[in-house]
Amino acid sequence: MARTLINVPQKAKRGQVVEIKTLISHIMETGYRRNETGVAIPRDIINSFVCTYNGEEIFRAKLYPAIAANPFITFFTVATETGTLEFKWTDDKGNVETGTAKITVE
């Protein structure tokens, strides 16, 4: 569906707060625009974003048409253990895009 960029530090100390940056390419069509012939363009946005850390949900976002095209979201988490972060974006058409990132905790 779309290209994604995920930025997670490769290594972190136990208990350290790390910043996670995510970007996905998506048109984020608001549903409020019309084309040249006056026909409304149907809404197509990413409406949900979830991040899990070793299977446990750490961050969830509900997105509305007011989010700019190519949604960029950054947030924080505590580096608790070595493992995998999984990212999941869902859009109005039901398309799901996933991504993963590994983090090593020392």
Partner 1 sequence: MTHQPTRRAVVIGAASAGTLAAAPFLIVRPAAATPETMKAAIHKLIGESPVSKGKVTLDIPPLVENGNTIATSVAVESPMTAKDYVKAIHIFNEKNPQPDAISVYLGPRAGRAAFSTRIRLADSQTVTAIAEMSDGSLWSDSVEVIVTIAACLEYN
Least Å from the CB of residue 70 to partner 1: 8
Please name which of 86, 77, 92 lies closest in space to residue 50, comparing C-alpha atoms: 86
* Pairwise CA distance, residues 39 & 25, whole Å: 25
Under a CB-based contact definition with an 8 Å cutoff, are residues 16 and 78 in contact? yes
Q: State which of residues 5, 9, 11, 69 lies at the interface with partner 1 (CB under 8 A).
A: 69
How many residues are given for the chain? Answer: 106
Site for partner 1 in 46-65 (CB under 8 A): 53, 56, 58-65
Q: State which of residues 32, 39, 55, 94 lies at the interface with partner 1 (CB under 8 A).
A: 32
- Contact residues toward partner 1 (CB under 8 A) are 17-18, 30, 32-36, 38, 41, 53, 56, 58-69, 71-78, 80
